[in-house]
Amino acid sequence: MPAATSKRIRGVQLRRHFIIGNEAHVLPHPNYPSPTPDGHTKGWKVYVRPLPNGPDITTWLKKVQFKLHHTYTDASRTIEAPGPFEVSETGYGEFGVEIRLYFAQESGEKAVYREHYLVLAPYGSEEQKARQERENLVVAERLETIEFNEPTQVLAQLGQSAAALEQNIEEERRVMEQRRKRMEELGVAIAAK
């Protein structure tokens, strides 16, 4: 729970963007142990990463838990900051990986869940499949966004200068006010807070 001095910022929504994905290779491959375990045809890595050239996610993300298929030894793997938030393994089949994201304790925010379906086989157009096979690299990623409604002051300050924080808060308030006015124009009743 947040410290008593960590007040929530009313009327503000804070967004944090990041990538969840995986990469896979046909075995044998230099990134994975040799000899290859019996029946394993692919080496893969599942991860949570910042945007390319984006801000450091470890200012607000402190731990990631990956829950692999139950057939893996130690199927629940937890990676703490500074990371990297990733798990590498070998196998032969695709499955859903449960991902639990934990935030800085002082933020007062609960952990959230995401899921990523581990993609091992080439996909897309014939041209894309041919390139993936030629490069021996399949990448499946998606942009994720976490929205913190009325974040604590501590969470809002993590990874931001005071000036940038004030600017972001003011921008969020301006957007909220524009939405409120537009809804009033449309005749939608809004409860005052």
At 44-79, the pLDDT tens digits run: 999 999 999 888 899 889 999 999 999 999 999 999
Quote the CA–CA distance of 165 and 5 in Å, as a whole number: 18
Instruction: Check if the beta carbon of residue 144 is closer than 8 Å to that of residue 16.
Output: no
Q: Whole-model pTM above 0.85?
A: no
Count the Cβ atoms, other than its own, within 10 Å of residue 81. 17
Residues 6+ apart with CB under 8 A from 110: none
**Top-ranked range on mean pLDDT: pick from 34-38, 114-118, 152-156:** 114-118
pLDDT digit string (tens) for 116-132? 999 999 999 999 999 99
Query: What are the domain boundaries of the chain?
Result: 13-149, 161-185
Unique residue bearing structure tokens 């003011």: 170
Query: How far does CA 39 lie from the centroid of its chain?
Result: 31
Q: How confident is the model at residue 184 (pLDDT cuts 50, 70, 90)?
A: low
Per CATH, which fold does 13-149 belong to? Immunoglobulin-like (2.60.40)
Q: 151-168 b/e with 16+ CB inside 10 Å = b?
A: bbbbbbbbbbeeeebeeb
Comparison of pLDDT for 5 and 30, the residue scoring more: 30
